[in-house]
A and B are shown apart, each in its own frame.
Chain A
Amino acid sequence: MAHFILGRKGRMAQLFTEDGRCIPVTVLEAGPCTVTQVKSVESDGYVAVQLAYEPIREQLLTKPLVGHFKKTGSVPCRILRETIVDGAQGLALGAVVACDVFEKGQFVDVAGIIKGRGTAGVMKRHGFKGRPASHGHMCQRRPGSIGMHSEPARVFKGKKMAGHYGATRQTTQNLEVISVDRERNLLLVKGAVPGHIGGLVMIRSAKKRPAVAGKKG
């Protein structure tokens, strides 16, 4: 069963494992989230669950949103996100999803908005190699030729060039859950996570690495 939860990215750190290895971890504040809407094929044409995260004062919301929260009996929240679920999840309206839906050792995918880089050149944006820094080279970070000659006499669509880079959603797959702290709603995952510290992250069970049979996943 796939799980989904909203959270905030915390700082990165290092931990020692029992066998003495040092592993990189990212602290994530995850949930608790309240189910504020359950969409079904009959009413909406698809099956999804809407989660609310981070309670805020009612005055900060628009009236329609306040009404939406009132209807479900949940406290007003800053963030609403929806996830398509495989019908088995069976979350009811008002149910609370906490970080302990995940357990130590399983793998998760974490999505976030990566840091904005503004206008970036082709080396940073597309990983072009550039040219050597020395030995008489007159340019270092330029893209080089962008096409052929009088045939086709144009630049192909989709040609990788300089431009705006970053501030888009990105998912890091298969991060191992190192620890789960239900009391403080903290998840520790191994490795880096997209986005700023404090950025919104969406954590779900790893798509390509299902949990071992018999375990939650």
Chain B
Amino acid sequence: MNKHDDVVNKALRAKPLAVFGIGDTVDVQVLIREGEKERIQIFNGTVIARRGKIGPSATFTVRRIVQGEGVERIFPINSPKVVGLVVKTRVSVRRAKLFYLRKRVGKAAKLKEIIG
């Protein structure tokens, strides 16, 4: 606990994002601006890493395959641009960073789902 923690914590979202784990397939709802209009874009993929526990600099990385090419996006957990997160499937993994998925394609990149 540091002296000015509360000032820093103002940067955090009032309500936490949905609980998600490493390896989960998620829909990240991102607010994007097109000219004057704002709309929500969904980025669907696998959470392969999470960096930082609390604080404004905490991020998570979502990986997906677009037209055969791997795409990764890093989202700051507390960014006001990340408006929501929906967990699609939960999986069971044994490590915190799933960077090994980068070297795998197709069935080899499948993770063990938690059923029920």
- A and B bind: yes
Residues of A within 8 A of B (CB): 10-11, 13-16, 18, 20, 22, 27, 186, 188
Q: Which of B7, B55, B56, B81 contacts A20 (CB 8 A)?
A: B81
Residue contact A16 to B2, C-beta cutoff 8 Å: no
- Contact residues, B9-64 vs A (CB, 8 A): 10-11, 31, 55-57
Report the count of interface residues on B (CB-CB < 8 A).
16
Q: Which of B4, B11, B31 contacts A16 (CB 8 A)?
A: B11
Alpha-carbon gap, A27 to B4, bound state (A): 8
Residue contact B4 to A14, C-beta cutoff 8 Å: no
* Best-surrounded residue of B57, B78, B80 (most CB of chain A within 10 A): B80
Residue contact B56 to A15, C-beta cutoff 8 Å: yes
* Best-surrounded residue of A10, A13, A18 (most CB of chain B within 10 A): A13
Known: A16-B79, A22-B79. A10 touches B57 (CB 8 A): no
Residue contact A11 to B8, C-beta cutoff 8 Å: yes
Residues of B within 8 A of A (CB): 2-4, 7-8, 10-11, 31, 55-57, 76, 78-81
Residue contact A18 to B80, C-beta cutoff 8 Å: yes
Alpha-carbon gap, A27 to B3, bound state (A): 10
Known: A20-B80, A20-B81. A14 touches B3 (CB 8 A): no
**Which 10 A-B residue pairs are closest in the complex by CB-CB distance?**
A20-B81, A13-B8, A14-B56, A27-B4, A15-B11, A10-B4, A20-B80, A27-B7, A16-B80, A11-B4
Known: A14-B56, A15-B11. A22 touches B76 (CB 8 A): yes
Alpha-carbon gap, A14 to B3, bound state (A): 15
Alpha-carbon gap, A14 to B57, bound state (A): 7
Name A's interface SS.
strand
Alpha-carbon gap, A11 to B6, bound state (A): 12
**Contact residues in B for A20 (Cβ distance below 8 Å):** 31, 79-81
**Contact residues in A for B76 (Cβ distance below 8 Å):** 16, 22
Alpha-carbon gap, A18 to B2, bound state (A): 26
Residue contact A14 to B11, C-beta cutoff 8 Å: yes
Q: Which of B11, B79, B80 contacts A13 (CB 8 A)?
A: B11
* Best-surrounded residue of B31, B55, B56 (most CB of chain A within 10 A): B56
What are 23 residue pairs bridging A and B, where the CB atoms are less than 8 Å apart in the complex? A10-B3, A10-B7, A11-B8, A13-B4, A13-B7, A13-B11, A14-B8, A14-B55, A14-B56, A14-B57, A15-B10, A15-B56, A16-B56, A16-B79, A18-B80, A20-B31, A20-B79, A20-B80, A27-B4, A27-B7, A27-B8, A186-B7, A188-B7
Residue contact B81 to A13, C-beta cutoff 8 Å: no
Residue contact B78 to A16, C-beta cutoff 8 Å: yes
**Contact residues in A for B57 (Cβ distance below 8 Å):** 14, 22
